[in-house]
Amino acid sequence: METVFDPEGFRVELRTWLRDSLPGVWGGARPPVRPSEADDMAMRKRFDQALYAAGWGALSWPVAYGGQDAPVEAERVLAEECAAAAAPERYNRIGLGIVAPALIHYGSATQKERYLRPLLAAEEIWCQGFSEPNAGSDLASLATRARLVDGRWKITGQKVWTTLSTIADHCFLLARTGGPDSGHRGITAFIVPMDQPGVTIRPIRQINDSTEFSEVFFDDAEPADEPVIGEVDRGWQLAMTVLSYERSTNLLNRQTRLSVTVDALRRAVRDQGPEAPEVLVDDLVDVWIRSEALGCAVREHLAEMADGLPPSIGNNATKVYWSETYQALGDVGLALRGITTDAGGGLLDEEPDWYLYYLGSRAASIYAGTDEIQRNIIAERGLGLPRYSA
């Protein structure tokens, strides 16, 4: 007899677990107000490991790979409760959100057995080698090349904006295996160990002082044993599939955290903010409306997945809407942060640090596919409009 998922029962169980487990994850009663990047990453890793130990690291994965075969609704409940409890974001998020779908859908039995459980347990960390200096949103023009030399693949080229590359054990990398003009028909997906000769990592310091991503150089670097995910020269279809997951299930976590932040900001202004100008209050109401609409869109995407449908073009539209809402929230939060109250203190003295939040939001319309490219995809593939040509 099939077990029926009880979302509210799971919510109660999860809420209790978070209450009991998070102090150990944080290293105290509450997370530090402004942890260093190293402390933040350490908290994230402890949280991934705690979720794995509890059996909740990947609820909707097959049991054979460490999951629970739970419906995607369980992932929504997990995301909502983690956001409400101020749990850290996932540490191995590239592996969980991008690499795991690639391995589950396209990987061999050996690859699944070798990589999925260490990924889920945060024992092996992954980065994603897609973007290049001249091939970001136009990914089909990538130039990093893989060639067979005496039966072994050799990879040469450069990747950029490679998140988590400084701590990653493996890179999920796209390289050209076809001719120079093969476009998307000559791309292959590889597993590449990061700790080897021929891999050079140069961190990029961001405007918010983070060095979370880097540029990575490959000079005859060798992929792992059984290195190809899927088929040679068929990596484009694989990449498009996993990127659609990045804009669907990954978006769930971003949306829930944004909604929690919006609600906290509304409460702060309501309780402490008669000094806030009416125009900023109106802007905050607009952001709240947008966040509610965003939540409805994400729930619709999850319902489609629950029905067995692949991620749709609607996910691209939702990603654009999320990035614009995130940036609008950063604008409002930073503006309200500068207002002082009659009592002499700041209107917003609580977390998040709105200055850093604002700076972080600027990249939202670029990563995971720029808003401009997303609109082209929506127009051409979703609405059937003709391709633009200058």
List, by residue number, the catalytic residues: 246
Q: Which amino acid is at 253?
A: N
Torsion of the alpha carbons at 287, 291, 293 and 294, rounded to the nearest 10 = 130
Q: 172 and 128 in contact (C-beta within 8 Å)?
A: yes
Residue 384 is given by DSSP the state: -
Q: Are the C-beta atoms of residues 130 and 174 closer than 8 Å to each other?
A: yes
Phi-psi map region of 257: left, alpha, beta (phi>0 left; psi -120 to 50 alpha) = alpha
- Here the tokens at position 63 are 């049991």
Residue 17 burial (C-beta neighbours within 10 Å; 0-12, 13-18, 19+): middle
| Omega within 30 of 0 (cis) for the link into 352 | yes
List CB contacts of 300: < 8 A, sequence separation 6 or more. 314
In angstroms, the CA 212 to CA 197 distance is 22
What is the C-alpha radius of gyration for the chain, rounded to an integer number of angstroms?
A: 22
Chain position carrying tokens 């590449």: 192
Q: Report CA-CA distances (Å) from 376 to 66, 133, 369, 384.
A: 37, 21, 11, 10
Q: Which residue is associated with the tokens 């097959």?
A: 62
Q: How many CA atoms lie within 13 A of 36 on its CB side?
A: 3
Instruction: Give Cα 49 distance to the centre of its chain.
Output: 18
> What is d(CA 168, CA 18) in angstroms, rounded to the nearest whole number?
27
C-alpha 180/C-alpha 138 separation (Å) is 15
